[in-house]
Amino acid sequence: MTRVLIAEDDANIVELLSFVLGRDGCAVTAALDGDEALRCLRSAPPDVMILDLMLPKRNGFEVLKAVRSDPALRALPVLVLTAKGQARDRSLVEGIGVDGFLTKPFSNTDVVEAVRRLGRR
Amino acid sequence: MFSANLVLPIALVYVALLFAVAFVGDRRARAGRVEWLQSPLVYTLSISIYCTSWTFYGAVGSAARGGLEFATIYLGPTLVFAGWWVLLRKLVRIGHLHGITSVADMISSRFGKSAPLAALITLIAVIGVTPYIALQLRAVTTSIEVISSAGPEEALGIAPAAANAHAGFWIAAGMALFTILFGTRNVDAKEQHHGVVAAIALEAVVKLVALLAVGLLVVFGICDGVADSFARAAPGLLHAPEGFGTRWVALIFLSAAAIVCLPREFQITVVENADERHLVTASWLFPLYLFLITLFVLPIAIAGLSVLPQGSNPDMFVLTLPMWAGNDGVALLAFLGGFSSATSMVIVACIALSTMVSNHLVMPLALRFRWVHLNASGEVRRFLLASRRASICALMLLGYLYFHYSGSGEALAAIGLISFAGVAQFLPGLVGGLYWRNANATGALAGLVAGAVLWAYTLFLPSLGAGVVFTPELLRDGPFGLALLRPQALFGVTWLDPLVHALFWSLSANTLLFVLGSLAREPRPIERLQAALFVDVFRTPAEAASGLIRRTAAAEDLRVLAERILGGDETRRFFERAAREQGLEYGRPVANDAFITQLETKLAGSVGAATARAMISEAVVLESIGLDQLMQLADETRRAREHSRQLQEKSGQLEAAAGQLRAANARLQRLDQEKDEFLSQVSHEVRTPMTSIRSYAQVLLETPGLDPDRARRYVRIIHDESVRLTRLLDSTIDLSLLEHGEVPWARAAIDPEAALERAIRSCQGLAGARVRLQSSERARGATVEADEDRLCQVFINLISNAIKYNTNPAPQVTIRSALRGGAYEVEVADNGPGIRAEERDRIFSKFMRGWAYLQTGASGAGLGLAISRQIMRRLGGTLEVVPGDGRGACFRVTLPARAPAAA
């Protein structure tokens, strides 16, 4: 069973992803802001993290940097979700290191497949 | 050989022929048939008055004494005419444009129409040219003596001592008569003297033919061809030790100066010139004429020296050689040639000088001392003609007296050179004035005075002979025994030839003072104007420049003035033509500036520029010079300075423009960045609800057996997110419209309280039972200028924010309104999480949500406050965050209120 942490501030999307991924056999937890996401990562490291870039308190870039600079979390597969979808953001996060990049609005299937792929590693 | 009884009738017949030619020429010109009279050929032939009896007889004498040196006198004019483009063209153009009547008029016109300058030049010219006229008289009388002599001694010119004074007098009288008849028919000195020109052109042909005939006779009759004629030359004659030394250079320079400065040459070349293009022909034809007339000079001189007895007068070889050879025909032709060369010079010189004397000496004095009354019609005209005729007689008399009393020892050439050196003093002023803008009358006067004084002291007075003016002691030891001031060895310069010595000192002092005097003061406006007109004659159209002086006068005054000078008929014609040109059918022209200038030029043709100007100014009632324009036109430096100032200004403007562009560019870049951010924000704000809509819809589509409750919930989310999306789009458009403000608002005097009430009512639903909406103090009877719907929108936004983001367990919103200091104020305060200090500036930005938003998760696009602030700005009010009472947020709306309505 793949453990997935969703860091996303929009409640509707959290509910949606929980439903879709849960149906596919994932154990989903959610964090509504960046700080909470980091706390969750450290207390119960997931197999995959889905990260929104526009997060309150500590945004997705900062969370990602913290993950990649933390030896315990460095290898964590991260799937970035963003509503910004601009090339600049994509190259920015790819510079830090991500394992998947999806633009909102996304297809549910793409999310599920990405999580499956990352979870197998 | 010939008896005087034969020679004189022949001379008289020849003179009668000249009168006839002049008469016919004048008649034809009056009938308007000037074709051949104005041909380049006649023009060139008349220029050949340069070749006087000095050339005709004197060149051979000169060659016999000094070998090739005589040629220098013809090299100077050849250079000037070959280079006509440089100087002559400018002189002729200016002469035409300004109605120049003489060299004195030219120079004085250039230097601000200075009357003293014109008078001084006239004086120098008279002093300088009188010996020259005397020289011609002497040549003619001597030639008569020689040709009609009885004894061989006299025939060979060995003892021509007592020149026949009676003959000299009658010759002078005859020439005066001719000159008066054909030279002063009209008062307009600028008018071409066609009769005179025709006569002197004929004389030019006669003297050339005569000299060529003598030459051919000498070479092929007396000698055995060309080779033989040169073989007889004394050794050393053709190899002058002086060859190409300072004297040669000085002579070439002197003759070049003379061809420009001699009054008679100026008269023919510039004043009588009918067409500038004739110069092109003259530029090669005149040198050719000079070449031909000097072609046989050396053979004649050599033959004279070898075949005639020792002591024969070389100045008479041209006449004595044919006589010696017994060829009466050629001898008579030679006599007529010499006669022609003398008379043509005297006639033209007298016309030129008499114009100068009457215009620049007599008229100014007559005007000053009221010899003529300007109000008597025709009197000035009569006076002018009379003075000109009297001047001719006086000049001729002066020449005769000089001839009568001067020693006869001087060679012809020497007298000519003294005269040349005198008029060469005009050169610095004339040439400097044509090319140097800053030259002024002070410089010209100072230079002329110095040059003339030195010329007289070092050359002219000594030439009169010891004992006439200068005592022999003075000449030898200097005045008061001061050797440094010896006239012919000034400042100890003893090694120079007397002519070169005089030329050096006089022209150096002249030029130096001309330059220093010109630099000593700024040119006066009139000098600047004239300088510009003369120096830039090929660049500045005369009309454009004359427009700078604005004068007006009564047309009647001008008519009276013109009648006095021009006569009734001429004046009427002139005025009628001017009126026609102005488009007036009848009556007289408007005395505007153009007309006054036209009239002044016309009058200048009669009385010279300086006098014409003086006369016109008496009639002119208003004269103003557009000084600024004038300076701009006249002063090249000034223009350059002005130009560079403009450039600086322009570059300043460019810099400013560049600065503005940079600022605008920076602003655009900032706006562009803002736009990008805005789009990025909008994109983000749109994508988030869009994600929910798409993904929930996908779940609904792909999950057939979905729990109905769950399905309904998902549909609800889709619905809500669609509404959120629509609201977002509406707000975005609303804000865009507000920011760019294209749609005009209906602003009216409204009661703001009504809008506030409406807003509170419409927020009651949102507040529900949870939030307590309370309105405390309220302003009554306020009136503001606003759009009620928009104002209501602001209130709703503030109140709904206060409700939505209120996390207080006992949330409450307080609304107050008041009239304070002429303004209507509304405060909306809540007891929610409030606005952090660092958020205060940004809270009104687009898509900016306060931290309270995070606390509540309430929906909102983040555009409400931005919209509200824009609305308030357009209504002329403000929206701001106020510190409030320490808890929660407080927003204050302020609008200027009208005077409270009576309630």
pLDDT of residue B447: 92
Query: Mind telling me how many Å the CA of A31 is from chain B's nearest CA?
Result: 13
CA pair distance B157, B144, nearest whole angstrom: 11
pLDDT of residue B235: 67
Tokens encoding B561: 């003035």
Residue B691: partners with Cβ closer than 8 Å, 6 or more residues away: A10, A13, A16, A83, A104, A105, A106
Spatial contact of B682 and A86, defined as CB atoms under 8 Å apart: no
| Cα-based distances in Å from B212 to A85, B51, B312 | 110, 14, 22
Nearest to B40 by CA among B344, B277, B345, B208: B277
**Which residues 675-694 of B have a C-beta within 8 angstroms of A?**
680, 683-685, 687-688, 690-694
Mean pLDDT by 10 residues, chain B (903 residues): 68 84 81 74 86 84 81 87 82 82 86 86 89 84 76 48 64 82 67 79 90 87 79 69 72 88 87 83 89 87 82 82 83 87 86 87 80 62 83 88 68 73 89 86 90 87 72 72 72 74 89 90 77 73 50 72 75 81 71 78 75 72 51 51 74 85 86 77 80 90 86 90 85 78 73 85 80 81 83 87 83 86 86 78 72 61 81 85 76 80 44
Contact residues on chain B for A15, CB-CB shorter than 8 A? 717
CA pair distance B775, B793, nearest whole angstrom: 18
Q: Which CATH number fits domain A2-120: 3.40.50.720, 3.40.50.2300, 3.10.400.10, 3.40.50.300?
A: 3.40.50.2300
- CATH class (in words) of the domain with range B636-740: mainly alpha
Query: Mind telling me how many Å the CA of A71 is from chain B's nearest CA?
Result: 31
Residue type, B671: L
CB pairs < 8 Å spanning A and B: 61
CA pair distance B78, B849, nearest whole angstrom: 99
Residue in A12, A83, A109 closest to B721 by CB? A12
Residue found under tokens 């004189």: B8
**Which residues 819-878 of B have a C-beta within 8 angstroms of A?**
854, 857
CATH of domain B748-896: 3.30.565.10
Query: Mind telling me how many Å the CA of B696 is from chain A's nearest CA?
Result: 7
Task: Please name the residue of chain A whose CA is at the shortest distance from the CA of residue B677.
Answer: A84
pLDDT of residue B451: 92
Other Cβ atoms less than 10 A from the Cβ of B448: the count is: 24
| Domain chopping of chain B, boundaries | 4-411, 536-634, 636-740, 748-896
Question: Cα B123–B130–B464 angle (5° rounding)?
Answer: 105
Contact residues on chain A for B699, CB-CB shorter than 8 A? 16, 19-20, 108
Spatial contact of B883 and B817, defined as CB atoms under 8 Å apart: no
The number of CA neighbours under 13 Å toward the Cβ of A86 is 14
Burial call B515-543: b when 16+ CB within 10 Å, e when fewer: bebbeeeebebbbbbbbbbbbebeebeee
Question: Cα B179–B181–B184 angle (5° rounding)?
Answer: 75
pLDDT of residue A49: 92
Spatial contact of B22 and B198, defined as CB atoms under 8 Å apart: yes
Q: What is the ipTM of this complex?
A: 0.91
* End-to-end Cα spacing for chain B: 143
* Interface with B, mutate which of A104, A107, A111 (most B CBs under 10 A): A104
**Which residues 265-304 of B have a C-beta within 8 angstroms of A?**
none
Contact residues on chain B for A83, CB-CB shorter than 8 A? 683-685, 687-688, 691
pLDDT of residue B122: 92
Q: Are strands B748-750 and B784-786 parallel, antiparallel or unpaired?
A: antiparallel
Residue type, B597: T
pLDDT of residue B34: 67
Residue in A10, A20, A57 closest to B699 by CB? A20
Annotate B680-748 with three-state secondary structure.
Answer: HHHHHHHHHHHHHHHHHHHHHHHCCCCCHHHHHHHHHHHHHHHHHHHHHHHHHHHHHHHHHCCCCCCCE
pLDDT of residue A85: 60
Stretch (H or E) spanning B820 = strand B812-820
Residue in B680, B687, B699 closest to A105 by CB? B687
CATH of domain B4-411: 1.20.1730
| Cα-based distances in Å from A22 to A18, A25, B33 | 6, 5, 124
Query: Mind telling me how many Å the CA of B681 is from chain A's nearest CA?
Result: 8
Q: Are strands A78-82 and A100-103 parallel, antiparallel or unpaired?
A: parallel
Question: Cα B736–B741–B745 angle (5° rounding)?
Answer: 120
Stretch (H or E) spanning B830 = strand B823-830
Q: What's chain A's average pLDDT?
A: 85
Spatial contact of B538 and B98, defined as CB atoms under 8 Å apart: no
Length of chain A in terms of residues written? 121
> Could you tell me what percentage of chain B is helix, strand and coil, using 3-state DSSP and rounding each to the nearest 5?
70, 5, 25
